[in-house]
A and B are shown apart, each in its own frame.
Chain A
Amino acid sequence: NAGVTQTPKFQVLKTGQSMTLQCAQDMNHEYMSWYRQDPGMGLRLIHYSVGAGITDQGEVPNGYNVSRSTTEDFPLRLLSAAPSQTSVYFCASRHLETQYFGPGTRLLVL
């Protein structure tokens, strides 16, 4: 199993640009989520999904959209990037009591 994969590893955007961060898992987990981590801070939940077709907001959802058309994929869309969205983004999936995190995408918004 590849586990949780994320692409790209690193991205630079200009203010106002849009982009999609990709997340995929091959473990057939129903629950998936997106977090952001700012320098020196803990992770904060952006959006999560309890299964295909079902998504909900976390702590910091503003400026982000998600969809869940398949069990495997959970993309995160930035509609109009802002410098405040400069962060490291982690995707995770869950099985029972264990969450599995991807390697992260480092995003710099200029």
Chain B
Amino acid sequence: GIQVEQSPPDLILQEGANSTLRCNFSDSVNNLQWFHQNPWGQLINLFYIPSGTKQNGRLSATTVATERYSLLYISSSQTTDSGVYFCAVSGGSEKLVFGKGTKLTVNP
């Protein structure tokens, strides 16, 4: 089945810093989503982005499907950005395969 790798596994930032999270996948995909799991365990859907570039406030994402990777950019990070960021993909079947996540800690 399709494999998903996220990097880095852990990231510690000072408030105001920028960061880039990466998601590599092993096969072509028809769905790619980025999620933020907050400290209360809720999964927040950030982007549906099987290809192309999208922006939403301080967050943006780019997926280069032909090279099998996606990037999530966080600018001017805030303490509320802390949590775990998951990339999830599906290709050929409907089930999403999740990466192991990037744990982000933003210090004040």
Asked if A and B bind, the verdict is no
